[in-house]
A and B are shown apart, each in its own frame.
Chain A
């Protein structure tokens, strides 16, 4: 079964750090581009970051640039999001999402169940 499972969420104080992980299974992880997308409580979806299949190309939303770092370990079938200098507005469910393959940044065809990050004192 094709699956993405996030972990690492939790409660953190403003200014703190957290590292999210996303474990992939059921497909050749190293062949796919990946993304992080977040959703604040009761709100819509917000794209956070993209990484190419090899890890050589990376993009960030302006709201997290300079604070968050996306990475991947294809040998471990894992995607990561290192989040530093966290703010209250980073509070959200964080999803990892697989890019389906296409001629541009493309659709997200597989999503994890999400992990909740709460930034509060």
Chain B
């Protein structure tokens, strides 16, 4: 099983700050890494697919990078509405796995 480890688990940030969340895979997964945002009491929402591919309707301040085992989700100029949990997800091999999540709090 491919284990995805996100860091940090929690971050408290101020609006307009730049935020970086990392996801490390226990073995190489190419670019088969996707990012989701989940706000409280809502279902997850796809932000980035295949490491860096943007999703229609997602604000341009969200971007992704990486390949192999190390991936990054970057949020430029954080907004109050970005308070949420963020998860990475690998689709390279079974079983499909998710990272443990990163909770972002807006100060």
Contacts and interface: CB of A to CB of B under 8 A. Distances in A.
Interface in A61-87: 61-62
B50 A113 contact: no
Interface residues of B, number: 23
A56 B46 CA distance: 26
Contacts of B99: 44
B95 interface: yes
Interface residues of A, number: 24
Contact of A113 (B43, B46, B89, B95): B43
3 smallest beta-carbon distances between A and B, as pairs: A107-B49, A47-B96, A105-B91
Interface of A: 35, 37, 44-47, 50, 59, 61-62, 95, 97, 100, 102, 104-109, 111-114
Interface of B: 32, 34, 36, 38, 43-46, 49-50, 55, 87, 89, 91-92, 94-101
